[in-house]
Amino acid sequence: MWELCFDHSEPFYIKDRLGLNYIHHLLSHPNRPINVIELRNHYSKTSDQVQGSIEKALDHDFEEGGLPNIDGHMEEKVLDDRTMNDIRVRIKEIAEDIRVLREDGFNDDSELIQEKLDKMNALKDYGSAGTDKYGKLRTITIGIERARKSVQKAISESLQLIDQHDNRHTFFGYLKKSIETGNQCLYKPPHHNPPDWSL
């Protein structure tokens, strides 16, 4: 829930919405153009969360569904160098486990070795999906136009909500004039007497 007030007006309340987070971020960074993909990703799954999901996959059985959806600025590696190194290290560890099991008398049909082989093959598939035929990391292109439309829509809907709840309609008018949206978003406060926000 957001508590909003502007120019000494009575506070009003709006349920949390993505567009309000975008507006808050822009007001917190005046006069700084922010790429829409950066803005969108700031409030979506973070790279640390993505990295954590991959590390978890390295330690547990793989589930069907393909690679995690990793967003970035214009172009992003499907798997980063750190992750690929983790995969290679884990494959070597599993291969060593299999070698030791074979020396201990287990054959390849045994449940233990089959489990290790399945995990090693899954890791190989996982890694090969992130590299091209030359072994270089694949990249994916993120649609900036889709991000622009998504961010613009979210901000526009939140501005309309602000206008509906603000009896004086001054906050909506101020934000409408001072926030620019496009491939880059910008909060441009007036040069004279800019608001001292409490965010």
Name the pTM for this structure: 0.52
Give whichever of 36-45, 70-79, 91-100, 126-135 has the largest mean pLDDT.
Answer: 91-100
Angle at 176 between CA 41 and CA 156, to 5 degrees: 50
The closest of 95, 15, 153 to 3, measured between CA atoms, is 15
pLDDT at residue 48, rounded to an integer: 43
Measure the CA–CA gap between 160 and 152, rounded to whole angstroms: 12
Of 1-5, 30-34, 44-48, 62-66, which range is least confident? 62-66
How high is the mean pLDDT of the chain?
76
pLDDT at residue 36, rounded to an integer: 85
User: Which residue would you say has higher pLDDT here, 195 or 148?
Assistant: 148
Token couple for 59: 């330690």
pLDDT at residue 132, rounded to an integer: 63
Angle at 185 between CA 39 and CA 179, to 5 degrees: 125
pLDDT at residue 69, rounded to an integer: 40
DSSP 59-114: HS---SS-S-----SSEEESS-HHHHHHHHHHHHHHHHHHHHHHHTT--TTSHHHH
Question: pLDDT tens-digit profile of 13-53?
Answer: 888 888 999 999 999 899 999 888 888 877 764 334 434 44
Measure the CA–CA gap between 183 and 197, rounded to whole angstroms: 25
Confidence check: pLDDT of 197 > 60:
yes
pLDDT at residue 152, rounded to an integer: 92
pLDDT at residue 37, rounded to an integer: 80
Share of the chain above pLDDT 90, in %: 22
Of 61-70, 90-99, 170-179, which range is least confident? 61-70
Please classify residue 58 by burial: count the beta carbons closer than 10 Å to its beta carbon, then call 0-12 exposed, 13-18 middle and 19+ buried.
Answer: middle
pLDDT at residue 133, rounded to an integer: 62
Cβ contacts of 35 within 8 Å, gap of 6 or more? 73, 144, 183, 184
Q: Please name every residue paired with 186 in a beta bridge, in sequence order, or none if there are none.
A: 180
Q: Could you tell me if residue 144 is left (phi over 0), alpha (psi between -120 and 50 degrees) or otherwise beta?
A: alpha
> Residue type at 44?
S
pLDDT at residue 45, rounded to an integer: 45
pLDDT at residue 193, rounded to an integer: 66
End-to-end alpha-carbon separation of the chain, Å? Answer: 14
Q: What average pLDDT does range 151-169 have in this prediction?
A: 88
Q: Could you tell me if residue 65 is left (phi over 0), alpha (psi between -120 and 50 degrees) or otherwise beta?
A: left
pLDDT at residue 35, rounded to an integer: 86
Confidence check: pLDDT of 127 > 70:
yes
